[in-house]
Amino acid sequence: MNTNFWQQFKGPVFSLAPMEDVTDTVFREIVLRMSAPGKLHVVFTEFSNVEGLNHPVGRDRVSERLIINNSELLLLRKMGVKLIAQIWGKTPEIYHSVTQWITTNYPFDGIDINMGCPVKKIVKQGACSALIGQPGLAREIITAVKEATHLPVSVKTRTGIKQHVTEEWINTLLETNPAAIILHGRTQQMQSDGEANWEEIRKAVELRNAINPGIPIHGNGNVFSYQEGLERVQSTGVEGVMVGRGIFKNPWFFDPERLSVSKEERVQKLLEHTRLFEETWSGKKNFNILKRFYKIYINHFDGAGKIRADLMEATGFKDVYHYFGSQ
Ligand SMILES: Cc1cc2nc3c(=O)[nH]c(=O)nc-3n(C[C@H](O)[C@H](O)[C@H](O)COP(=O)(O)O)c2cc1C
**How many whole angstroms separate alpha carbon 186 and alpha carbon 198?**
9
| Options 3.30.70.2740, 3.40.30.10, 3.20.20.70, 3.40.50.11900; CATH of 5-249 | 3.20.20.70
Q: Is the CB of 17 under 6 A from ligand 1?
A: yes
Q: Which atom of ligand 1 is nearest to the CA of 47?
A: 8
Q: Spell out, as residue ranges, where the chain has pLDDT lower than 50.
A: none
Tell how far the Cα of 17 is from the centroid of ligand 1, in angstroms: 6
Q: Is the CB of 154 under 6 A from ligand 1?
A: no
* Exposure on the CB side of residue 118, measured as CA atoms within 13 A: 16
Q: Is the CB of 221 under 6 A from ligand 1?
A: yes
Q: Decide if 19 contacts 26 (C-beta within 8 A).
A: no
**How many whole angstroms separate alpha carbon 231 and alpha carbon 29?**
27
| Residues forming the active site | 117
Instruction: Check residue 327 and give its pLDDT.
Output: 61
Instruction: Check residue 2 and give its pLDDT.
Output: 64
Q: Decide if 149 contacts 178 (C-beta within 8 A).
A: no
Which of 175, 140, 199 shows the shortest CA–CA distance to 183? 199
Q: Which atom of ligand 1 is nearest to the CA of 224?
A: 26
Tell how far the Cα of 10 is from the centroid of ligand 1, in angstroms: 25
Q: Decide if 72 contacts 29 (C-beta within 8 A).
A: yes
Q: Is the CB of 110 under 6 A from ligand 1?
A: no
Q: Which atom of ligand 1 is nearest to the CA of 220?
A: 23
Which of 102, 123, 111 shows the shortest CA–CA distance to 42? 111
Q: Work out whether strand 217-220 and strand 13-16 pair parallel, antiparallel, or are unpaired.
A: unpaired
**How many whole angstroms separate alpha carbon 30 and alpha carbon 48?**
21
**How many whole angstroms separate alpha carbon 50 and alpha carbon 63?**
10
Q: Is the CB of 185 under 6 A from ligand 1?
A: no
Instruction: Check residue 320 and give its pLDDT.
Output: 98
**How many whole angstroms separate alpha carbon 200 and alpha carbon 167?**
8
Contacting residues for 44 by C-beta, under 8 A, at least 6 apart: 15, 16, 17, 18, 23, 83, 84, 85, 86, 112
Q: Decide if 156 contacts 86 (C-beta within 8 A).
A: yes
Q: Which of 15, 19, 49 for mutating ligand 1's site (highest number of atoms within 8 Å of CB)?
A: 19
**How many whole angstroms separate alpha carbon 10 and alpha carbon 22?**
28
Instruction: Check residue 3 and give its pLDDT.
Output: 77
Q: Which atom of ligand 1 is nearest to the CA of 182?
A: 19
Domain with CATH 3.20.20.70 in the chain: 5-249
Please measure the distance between the N-terminal and C-terminal CA atoms of the chain and give it in whole angstroms.
50
